[in-house]
C-alpha cells in the first residue's frame, strides 16, 4: 500500500518533491520519527534524509525502498548534493516548510519552488487500510469512553475524568491521545477548546467531552455531552435537540459530489431558524486521518467537493458565553450513496 501511494504521487510530479511534513512522511513511507525528509523523484527510488538519531530506526520503519542518507547538520546541502549528482537542478518543496527553512536554499545550486503538497490531495481520500485503522481508533476511543462513563457524576473533577479516559485509551492499546482531551462542565463548556480543570461537576450540569486516540498512526475524534443527572435546564434540552437535528441535516447532505461548504451552510441555515446560529462559532467539521485535523474542511469557505473515501467529523456546536455549550461530534465515511457512520456510541446518555 505504501508502494501504491508513492506511485500515485510520482504520477502527479513533474519535478522532484521534498516531503517534510511528518504526517506526509508517515503516509508515504511509514517513518515515525520527529525529523526526516523524503525526496521523491518522478521516477525511481526516493531518497530519505535523516540525522544520526534515526538511521537505525528508519532502516527498521521505512516501508518503501528508499536510499537512506544520513546528514550531519545541513540537510539542505545534502539534498542539493544528491540532486546535483543526479543531474537535476529544480526542486519542489512542500509549502508547510518554515520561512527559515526556505531561506536555507538561498544561494544553493538548485532552483526551488514551494508548493501546496500534492500529498494532502492523496491523503484526503483514505484507502482501505486507512479506513480500517480509523475504525480501530474509533472503536478503542468508544470502549475507553464507556469504561469511564460511570465516573461522570456530581463532585468529580473535570481533570480526573480526562486523566482516567486517557489512561484507558492507552491501556487498551492506543499509541497516544490524538489531541489534548477536552472535559468541560458548567459554564466552561462554552469554551470550544477548554482544558480540563480541577472544577467539580455540579448538580444539574452537563459535561462536554471531546476525546480521541491514535491507533496504528490514525486518529479518532468524538464529542458527547453527558448530563450529570436528570435536572438539566430546559435551555440545555432545547440546544441539545437542535444539535441532534443539525446532525441529521448535515448527515442527510453528505454524499460524493456534494460541496463541503453546502453541508456547512445547510446546518447554519437550520440553526438560524432555531435562533442558535450565532452561537455556532466554528466550522462544521474536518477530515481526520493521520492528523486529527486534515483535508477536507467542512466550512463555509471550503472549495472541496466531497469524494468517496473521505473521512470527516460532523460537529455542530452551540456555545453561549456565561451559560455553557453543547457539541455533538460524529465521524463519517463519505460514499457515493451517502455517509457511513463510523462511531456507534449513542448521542444521549
191 binding a second copy? (CB under 8 A): yes
Query: Helix 260-273 and helix 234-253: axis angle, to 10°?
Result: 150
320-348: buried (b, 16+ CB within 10 Å) or exposed (e) per residue? beebbbbbbbbbbbbbeeebeebbeeeee
Interface with a second copy in residues 271-290 (CB under 8 A): 281-282
Query: Based on CB atoms, which residue is closest to a second copy, 126 or 188?
Result: 188
Query: Quick one: 250 exposed, middle or buried, by C-beta within 10 A (0-12, 13-18, 19+)?
Result: buried
175 binding a second copy? (CB under 8 A): yes
266 binding a second copy? (CB under 8 A): no
197 binding a second copy? (CB under 8 A): no
Query: Based on CB atoms, which residue is closest to a second copy, 100 or 344?
Result: 100
171 binding a second copy? (CB under 8 A): yes
Q: Rounded CA gap, 156 and 161, in Å?
A: 7
Over the window 74 to 103, marking each residue x when it contacts a second copy by CB under 8 A and - when it does not, the resulting string is -------------------x-xxxxxx-xx
| Stretch of residues binding a second copy (CB under 8 A), selected from 125-133, 134-142, 187-195, 237-245 | 187-195
56 binding a second copy? (CB under 8 A): yes
Regarding beta strands 17-19 and 222-227, do their DSSP bridges make them parallel or antiparallel, or are they unpaired? unpaired
Least distance from a second copy to the Cβ atom of residue 218, Å: 15
73 binding a second copy? (CB under 8 A): yes
Tell me phi and psi for residue 180, to 5 degrees.
Answer: -65, 125
Least distance from a second copy to the Cβ atom of residue 78, Å: 14
Provide the terminal-to-terminal Cα distance of the chain, rounded to the nearest Å.
Answer: 40
Query: Based on CB atoms, which residue is closest to a second copy, 247 or 283?
Result: 283
- Within a 10 A sphere around the Cβ of 103, how many other Cβ atoms? 11
Query: Based on CB atoms, which residue is closest to a second copy, 74 or 248?
Result: 74
Torsion angle defined by CA atoms of residues 229, 235, 236 and 237, in that order, rounded to the nearest 10 degrees: 90
Q: Rounded CA gap, 169 and 142, in Å?
A: 9
215-241: buried (b, 16+ CB within 10 Å) or exposed (e) per residue? bebbbbbbbbbbbbeeebeeebeebbe
259 binding a second copy? (CB under 8 A): no
Least distance from a second copy to the Cβ atom of residue 73, Å: 5
Least distance from a second copy to the Cβ atom of residue 154, Å: 21
Q: Rounded CA gap, 143 and 59, in Å?
A: 35
Interface with a second copy in residues 291-320 (CB under 8 A): 299, 301, 319
Among 30, 42, 81, 180, binds a second copy (CB under 8 A): 180
Question: What angle is formed at CA 295 by the lines to CA 291 and CA 298, rounded to 5 degrees?
Answer: 115
Regarding beta strands 90-94 and 111-115, do their DSSP bridges make them parallel or antiparallel, or are they unpaired? parallel
Least distance from a second copy to the Cβ atom of residue 316, Å: 13
Instruction: Give the footprint of a second copy on this chain (CB under 8 A).
Output: 32-34, 51-57, 60, 73, 93, 95-100, 102-103, 114, 116, 162-163, 166-167, 170-171, 175-176, 180, 190-195, 281-282, 299, 301, 319, 321
Amino acid at each position: 500500500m505504501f508502494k501504491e501511494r508513492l506511485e500515485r504521487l510520482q504520477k502527479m510530479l513533474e519535478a522532484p518533491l521534498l516531503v517534510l511534513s511528518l504526517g506526509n512522511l508517515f503516509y508515504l513511507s511509514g517513518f515515525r520519527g520527529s525529523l526526516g525528509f523524503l525526496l521523491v523523484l518522478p521516477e525511481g527510488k526516493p531518497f530519505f534524509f535523516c540525522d544520526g538519531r534515526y538511521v537505525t530506526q528508519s532502516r527498521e520503519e521505512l516501508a518503501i525502498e528508499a536510499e537512506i542518507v544520513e546528514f550531519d547538520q545541513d540537510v539542505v546541502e545534502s539534498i542539493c548534493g544528491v540532486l546535483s549528482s543526479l543531474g537535476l537542478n529544480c526542486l519542489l518543496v512542500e509549502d508547510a516548510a518554515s520561512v527559515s527553512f526556505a531561506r536555507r536554499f538561498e544561494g544553493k545550486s538548485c532552483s526551488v519552488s514551494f508548493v501546496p503538497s500534492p500529498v494532502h490531495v492523496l491523503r484526503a481520500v483514505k484507502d482501505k487500510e486507512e479506513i480500517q485503522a480509523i475504525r480501530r481508533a474509533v472503536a478503542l476511543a468508544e470502549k475507553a469512553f464507556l469504561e469511564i462513563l460511570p465516573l461522570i457524576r456530581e463532585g468529580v473533577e473535570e481533570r480526573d475524568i480526562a486523566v482516567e479516559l486517557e489512561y484507558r485509551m492507552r491501556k487498551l492499546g492506543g499509541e497516544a491521545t490524538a489531541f489534548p482531551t477536552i472535559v468541560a462542565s458548567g459554564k466552561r463548556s462554552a469554551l470550544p477548546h477548554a482544558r480540563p480543570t480541577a472544577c467539580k461537576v455540579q448538580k444539574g450540569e452537563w459535561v462536554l467531552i471531546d476525546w480521541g486516540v491514535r491507533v496504528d498512526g490514525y486518529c479518532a475524534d468524538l464529542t458527547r455531552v453527558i448530563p450529570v443527572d436528570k435536572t438539566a435546564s430546559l435551555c440545555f434540552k432545547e440546544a441539545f435537540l437542535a444539535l441532534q437535528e443539525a446532525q441529521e441535516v448535515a448527515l442527510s447532505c453528505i454524499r460524493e459530489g456534494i460541496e463541503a461548504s453546502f453541508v456547512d451552510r445547510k446546518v447554519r441555515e437550520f440553526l438560524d431558524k432555531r435562533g442558535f446560529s450565532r452561537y455556532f462559532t466554528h466550522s462544521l467539521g474536518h477530515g481526520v486521518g493521520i492528523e486529527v485535523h486534515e483535508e477536507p474542511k467542512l466550512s463555509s469557505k471550503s472549495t472541496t467537493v466531497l469524494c468517496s473515501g473521505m473521512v470527516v467529523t460532523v460537529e455542530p456546536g452551540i456555545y453561549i458565553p456565561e451559560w455553557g455549550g453543547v457539541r455533538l461530534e460524529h465521524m463519517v465515511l463519505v460514499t457515493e450513496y451517502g455517509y457511513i457512520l463510523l462511531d456507534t456510541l449513542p448521542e444521549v446518555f
